[in-house]
Amino acid sequence: MRVLGIETSCDETGVAIYDTEQGLVADALYSQVAMHAEYGGVVPELASRDHTRRLLPLIQQVLDAAGMRRDELDAIVYTAGPGLVGALMVGASTAHGMARALNVPVLGVHHMEGHLMAPMLEDCPPEFPFVALLVSGGHTQLVEVRGIGRYRLLGESVDDAAGEAFDKTAKMLGLAYPGGPEVARLAESGDPGRFRFPRPMTDRPGLDFSFSGLKTHTLTALRQLEQAGELDDQARADVARAFEEAVVDTLVIKCRRALDDTGLKRLVMAGGVSANERLRERLAREADKRKARVYYPRGRFCTDNGAMIALAGAQRLLAGERDEIGFMKAVPRWPMETLKAPTGT
């Protein structure tokens, strides 16, 4: 089955073709980062309009790369949520329109389930069951995964997610959007011993996260440095280092607890923050101590992309799921734990 996947949940237009026998055939991505950078964050209306401009040319680009015609597609899947409702509707309406024209099945896919499946695109994919750390945009979650649609939420952020905290901290430091990679780059030249920021919610039981207080602590540190006339480039780098290490330590501590609580030996990490090198290194060391293994997608599949949506959708299509033609889904808020396993799995 050759499946066209469409991702338009936020500020990246992603398209891919996934073959259930051959694997990923072709994919393409257009990022709107440059357009949103001057505003310091995503402007929903601009994002929706740009998806409208980019989507059809990207679909043709991917078909050309795969050496396929549109009528050779067997199904179309798209991100149905969560995300920006206008952006979601661009992908949903395009997918349903194409599916009706080609008379093929169409299915709306959960964005976070796509991230969850992204490591399956690699040569050595994880087997079920595993613990998943999902750190994408406004989501930071730990999930026990027993199979597709068989999810148990172990913990999640009660306020700001890790990615949001990175972006807001970058803005405080005068760095460009998106903030995660910029903070990480600045932190490389920071002194790890100058500041120690709190590791929120690690001094109590449980697997929930909270990064709002850490963000406030960072702002307070910067203001104190500014008032003392000490906020120079090195001080900014030192603050970035302290902030990054606090986030990484917090995520690692919670992952360690999740592995211990579930008794599982496989940890999947996905989403934009999973590209952070310090986080990858720390989790690898923790996994080695527990004779466990960490899995994550290659860098270009950590952020939003069409390949993960095509793969996740293909798995559910094989189980017989599909949308009713003409009834597209665009769900801005959609808890992943409400998903159900495909019938018969």
Annotated binding site for Fe cation: 111, 115, 304
Regarding beta strands 130-136 and 266-270, do their DSSP bridges make them parallel or antiparallel, or are they unpaired? parallel
Rounded Cα distance between 214 and 190, Å, is: 18
**Is residue 250 a contact partner of residue 241, using CB atoms and an 8 Å limit?**
no
In sequence order, the β-bridge partners of residue 150 are: 147
DSSP string, 10-66: SSEEEEEEEETTTEEEEEEEEE-HHHHHTTTS--HHHHHHHHHHHHHHHHHHHHHHH
CA distances from 162 to 117, 232, 263 (A): 20, 26, 25
Assign 191 to helix, strand or coil: coil
CB neighbours of residue 262 within 10 Å? 15
Rounded Cα distance between 43 and 39, Å, is: 8
Binding site residue list for substrate: 134-138, 167, 180, 276
What are 206's two structure tokens?
């449980």
Binding site residue list: 111, 115, 134-138, 167, 180, 276, 304
Residue 297's identity, in one-letter code, is P
Read off φ and ψ for residue 312, nearest 5 degrees.
-60, -40
